């Protein structure tokens, strides 16, 4: 198994005091030689967290960026601004952005291009709804999302998050995850050729300390996009400990 990546998405959580305490715990307790770790605080905490991570192997990520370099876009943050703060990764196309902000594949693609130009690694999220899964349309949906969201020659990271298994009481089985991951790899290779073989595919469906070991052992799972568990140092470090660092 290749070196895995664990990305912590704090979402809209984290005051200065809470963020500082969490980062300090992660930095102090991160196992030596662990898998690649990236944490993605809200915009307001990026600068202070960057300072705390300066001498740490933990990478800094953001949760979104705008597709323009600068301009009259009130409330938005550009990829160049993120890079200026020391951000190295950016989550794009998360289901909460696609659903809550009506982001289209085209928008995600434009943001990915902007991120790459600024020197950031985009972590592009894709995933199907319960209706699409139950109708047997999930592979078509995922294929369309890859085609529409990933720019030509994409060399970033893909995160598969089954929307139907997040906070719904329905859990994706290991068999379902394995089948979907195998499809995603084949689809990436079909659309991007040799480049598609190297794209990391993370799993992002309610990963926690209990299910991480089994999920991370599934073929083609190159790591995890962690939501709620990333706000708890013990839980997040347990997930990191379950990941392969080889």
Annotated binding residue 227: yes
- Radius of gyration (Cα) for the chain, nearest Å? 17
Which residues, 6 or more positions from 219, have their beta carbon under 8 angstroms from its beta carbon? 178, 181, 182
* Residue written as token pair 């083609």: 220
φ, ψ for residue 91 (rounded to 5)? -80, 130
Question: 131 near 116, Cβ under 8 Å?
Answer: no
Residue 228 assigned as binding residue: yes
∠ CA 112-1-141, nearest 5°, is 40
- Give yes or no: 89 in active site: no
Query: Residue 185 is encoded by which pair of tokens?
Result: 């790899």
Q: Kindly compute the dihedral angle of the four CA atoms of residues 191, 197, 198, 204, in this order, to the nearest 10 degrees.
A: 80
β-bridge mates for residue 157, sequence order: 123, 200
Catalytic one among 66, 94, 103, 220? Answer: 94
**Distance, CA of 179 to CA of 227 (rounded, Å):** 23
Q: Identify the CA nearest to 155 among candidates 195, 120, 119.
A: 195
Considering the candidates 96, 103, 128, 161, report the single residue annotated as catalytic: 161
The reply to whether 9 sits in an annotated binding site is yes
Residue 144 in marked binding region: no
Is 8 known to sit in a ligand binding site?
no
Residue 147 annotated as catalytic: no
Residue 13 marked ligand-binding: no
Q: Say whether 75 counts as a known binding-site residue.
A: no
Residues annotated as part of the active site: 94, 161
List residues forming the annotated binding site. 9-11, 167, 206, 227-228
List residues forming the annotated binding site for substrate. 9-11, 167, 206, 227-228
């Amino acid at each position: 198994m290749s070196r895995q990546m664990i990305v912590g998405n704090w979402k809209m959580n984290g005051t200065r005091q809470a963020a500082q305490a969490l980062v300090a715990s992660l930095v102090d307790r991160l196992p030596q030689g662990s898998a690649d770790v990236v944490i993605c605080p809200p915009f307001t905490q990026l600068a202070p967290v960057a300072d705390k991570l300066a001498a740490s192997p933990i990478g800094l990520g953001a949760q979104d960026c705008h597709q323009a370099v600068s301009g009259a876009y009130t409330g938005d943050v550009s990829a160049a601004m993120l890079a200026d703060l020391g951000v190295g990764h950016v989550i794009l196309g998360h289901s909460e952005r696609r659903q809550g902000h009506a982001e289209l594949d085209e928008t995600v693609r434009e943001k990915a291009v902007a991120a790459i130009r600024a020197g950031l690694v985009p972590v592009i999220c894709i995933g199907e709804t319960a209706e699409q899964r139950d109708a047997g349309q999930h592979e078509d949906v995922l294929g369309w999302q890859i085609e529409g969201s990933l720019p030509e020659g994409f060399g970033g990271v893909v995160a598969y998050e089954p929307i139907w298994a997040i906070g719904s009481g329905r859990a994706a089985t290991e068999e379902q995850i394995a089948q979907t991951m195998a499809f995603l790899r084949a689809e990436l290779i079909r659309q991007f050729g040799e480049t598609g073989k190297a794209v990391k595919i993370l799993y992002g469906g309610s990963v926690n300390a209990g299910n991480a070991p089994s999920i991370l052992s599934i073929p083609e799972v190159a790591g995890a996009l962690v939501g709620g568990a990333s706000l708890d140092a013990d839980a997040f470090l347990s997930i990191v400990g379950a990941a392969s660092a080889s």
